[in-house]
Amino acid sequence: MAIGSPTPSPGAREVQPRRLRALAAYAAVAEASAGRLHREPACPMRTPFQRDRDRIVHATAFRRLTYKTQVFVFHEGDHYRTRLTHSLEVAQIARAMARMLELDEDLAEALALAHDLGHPPFGHAGERALAAATASFGGFDHNAQSLRVVTRLERKYASFDGLNLCYETLEGLAKHNGPLLRCGGPISALQREIEATGVGQWLHLEQYAPAEAQVAALADDIAYNAHDLDDGLRAGLVGLGDLAAVPLAAGFAAALPRGLDKQRAIYEVNRRIISALLEDAVSESRERLARLAEWSVAGVRAARMPVIAHSEERAVEAQGLKSFLFANVYRHPRVMAVMADAEGVVRDLFERYMADPGELPGSWRAAAEADGPSGVVADFVAGMTDRYALGEHRRLFDATPDLR
């Protein structure tokens, strides 16, 4: 198919929804999008970024996030975050931040919803297992896998593989962690995926992403800092009394009304952390955006530092909270024991499918026969939900850990 920006079919006119407010000069403008890899007629009802958001929500990979681990495996409790609820919470924070900064909310929301589409089962434990298993042929990175999902692995449209998202959306996914600077070292899994998609020339890889993408990335940090603490408190891994010396959280815990029950107390700490981080991010970002040499998307990309960020004081506090979570929640013996077993499940599955691709389902088996098993097996395992991975392990092995 031809490569370039989309062109309307003869006689078609793209009817844009009425904007309730003007966007800032440095916002990404959907009507001026650089286009998509495959040409498509314009949508008469939605902007290109709204269309991207809707395609992400309707993607199979998005639905699978329901049963993918955030911190706790899905069967440990109905109220802990999953990758899906985490993504929804990131989207809410990103949309609020974008609105206050007069950015395109739809692009920020689309990127927030899509940022974890490539996560394998069991969260970072699954990613560690896949990275180790694939080290000899390129490794695994969930950001690279998210890009792979939306450009190649989703297969539902008649004319192309993937979701055919706008270049601005692909750029935000590719640069979720910042610009991709060239260096003399090995090519990363993300760089290799960008080369494979053939879209690198439109992604401004050595510059910062548009402000909407930076909003989604910072919203991700805000969400998991606050919500992983919330889950850790409710799971009993840490207590409210343990927050006395924790940056950011300590003041909010100390200010709680006396006699408040545990559930309300935990929620109060959580919401106040989010509010403080969001308010600070908006204030600091407004100052940085005001200092841009050029008020445009190009000016945002060319800036010498991110334009969406926390103040230095809040950034130090957020890092302190993150360090507390690593030491006391992510590396809690209970979590570590479950995640060690989860890594073993992913490792076992990968090795079994590599040794016997005939155990793969029909379409995946055919792809492994045609293209070789390594990449196909990695894609298949990465796409699994926690419960599907456990079910496959029970089918293929005599003993499967309980992960509790």
DSSP letter for each residue of 8-22: PPTT----PPPPSSP
What is the C-alpha to C-alpha distance for residues 154 and 355, in angstroms, rounded to an integer?
26
- Mean pLDDT, the chain, as a whole number? 91
- Please compute the mean of the pLDDT values over residues 359-380 and round it to a whole number: 95
**Which residues, listed in sequence order, are joined to residue 3 by a DSSP beta bridge?**
38
Q: What is the predicted pLDDT for the residue at 183? A: 61
Report DSSP state, residue 150.
I
- Contact status, residue 71 vs residue 54, Cβ threshold 8 Å: no
Return the minimum-mean-pLDDT range out of 67-76, 120-129, 284-293: 67-76
CATH of domain 214-334: 1.10.3410
At how many degrees (to 10) do helices 211-234 and 312-325 cross? 40
Q: What is the predicted pLDDT for the residue at 115? A: 96
Return the minimum-mean-pLDDT range out of 50-59, 76-85, 166-175, 385-394: 76-85
Looking at residue 66, its amino acid is: T
Return the minimum-mean-pLDDT range out of 181-185, 198-202, 357-361, 372-376: 181-185
What is the C-alpha to C-alpha distance for residues 321 and 225, in angstroms, rounded to an integer?
7
Residue 250 backbone zone (phi > 0: left; psi -120 to 50: alpha; other: beta): alpha
- Please compute the mean of the pLDDT values over residues 336-343 and round it to a whole number: 93
**H/E element, 186:** none
Nearest by Cα to 327 from 262, 247, 223: 247
Residue range 79-108, pLDDT digits in tens: 678 899 999 999 999 999 999 999 999 999
Tokens standing for 198?
């053939």
Length of the chain: 404
SS3 38: strand
Nearest by Cα to 190 from 132, 140, 153: 140
**H/E element, 4:** strand 3-4
Residue 122 backbone zone (phi > 0: left; psi -120 to 50: alpha; other: beta): left
Backbone phi and psi for residue 143, each to the nearest 5 degrees, phi listed first? -70, -40
Exposed / middle / buried, residue 81 (Cβ in 10 Å: 0-12, 13-18, 19+): buried
94-101 own/partner pairs: CB under 8 Å, 24+ apart: 94/215, 94/216, 94/219, 96/278, 97/215, 97/218, 97/219, 97/278, 97/281, 97/282, 97/285, 97/308, 98/212, 98/215, 100/282, 101/24, 101/211, 101/215, 101/282, 101/285, 101/286, 101/289, 101/308
Report pTM: 0.92
CA distances for 53 relative to 32, 137, 150, 359, angstroms: 17, 33, 12, 35
Q: What is the predicted pLDDT for the residue at 184? A: 59
What is the C-alpha to C-alpha distance for residues 139 and 127, in angstroms, rounded to an integer?
10
Which is higher by pLDDT, 53 or 11? 53
**H/E element, 381:** helix 373-382
- Contact status, residue 378 vs residue 372, Cβ threshold 8 Å: no
- Please compute the mean of the pLDDT values over residues 164-186 and round it to a whole number: 88
B/e letters for 155-169, b = 16+ CB within 10 Å, e = fewer, are eeeeebebbbbbbbb
